[in-house]
Every structure is written in C-alpha cells, then in structure tokens.
Structure 1
Amino acid sequence: MRAVITVIGKDRVGIIAGVSNILADSNVNILDITQTILQDVFTMIMLVDISKCNIHFHELSEKLENKGIELGLKIQIQHEDIFNSMHRI
C-alpha cells in the first residue's frame, strides 16, 4: 500500500530530516522523492510504502502534521488512490 506526502512552506534547515525521521521510526519506506525550492518556498512530494507501517495511518498523519507545525510547514499524507482521484484531470 502506498501513500503520497506533500510538504510546502518556507525553506529552512531540517525539513527532509524531520519528515524522514518520522517515516523511519514508523517503518515507512520512501519509494520516490522530489523536492524543489521556488525562491524561498520549499515544496516536496514523496511516494511512500506504508504496508509495513507500525502505527495507524491516522497517527502517522498526526505526527507529520505536528512536525509541519513545528517547522512552519504544511505536511499532508494521503493514500495514493485518494491522491490520484483528487488530482485527475
């Protein structure tokens, strides 16, 4: 089972580490990652494998959202099928 994580906010040190540490602690594998900085706005999209996650999806979502608040970012996670449905043109 896969999920998509999006991160948007002002660029600062420690964004990727902060998200990656939560994922590693939760036994979530990063399958693909892309990130860019547009002027001083950081954007990142991660495709992750949550099939072996050791916490409930809702708890993982809360941890990521809280990390976003801590870092001044918006961090969201969605199941891949929901993400695809919402972004289909």
Structure 2
Amino acid sequence: ALPEGHPFGATVRDAVVAAGGEEPLSVGAPYGSDLRQYAAAGIPTVQYGPGNIEDAHAVDESVPIDEVVLSARAYAHLLLRHCGR
C-alpha cells in the first residue's frame, strides 16, 4: 500500500495524464502482486498498466494495443520526472 498523500502517487497520476490518459483512480485491489516485495523493503509502489485485471492470466488473454502505447508513454513520462531529477 502506498501511504495516503505519498508524492509518488501524484507523480504516477501526472505521468498518465501527461501521456494523454485520463486521471487514473487510486484504489486498492483484492489480489496479490510481486510489488509487495518492494513495499516490504520500504520502496513506494504503484501498479499501473494496460488491460483489465479481470482478463489477466486467462485463456485468450489480450490487451488493446492503444492501452499498451498509452502505458508506455506514461512510463516514459514517469521515468523522466522521477529519475531525471
């Protein structure tokens, strides 16, 4: 879990918007993720990406290419803002 008001959440949100996406919601999820390993080490984490979690790891899983492109753009913005300081 990312602490409420942690600046990394806003950084990710701003990167998505800068990439041309709608402002993403910040919500919890009822499933597990490897991000728990980073969180346990004190590293702030946010899970963001293309597709619908309901389709993940399913037979005939697919992701719309426009969502993949948007996510790649958001990651680029995030890297430039967060790591290019």
What's the TM-score once normalised by structure 1's chain length?
0.38
What's the TM-score once normalised by structure 2's chain length?
0.39
- Name the one with the larger strand percent: 1
- Name the one with the larger helix percent: 2
Q: Which has the larger radius of gyration?
A: 2
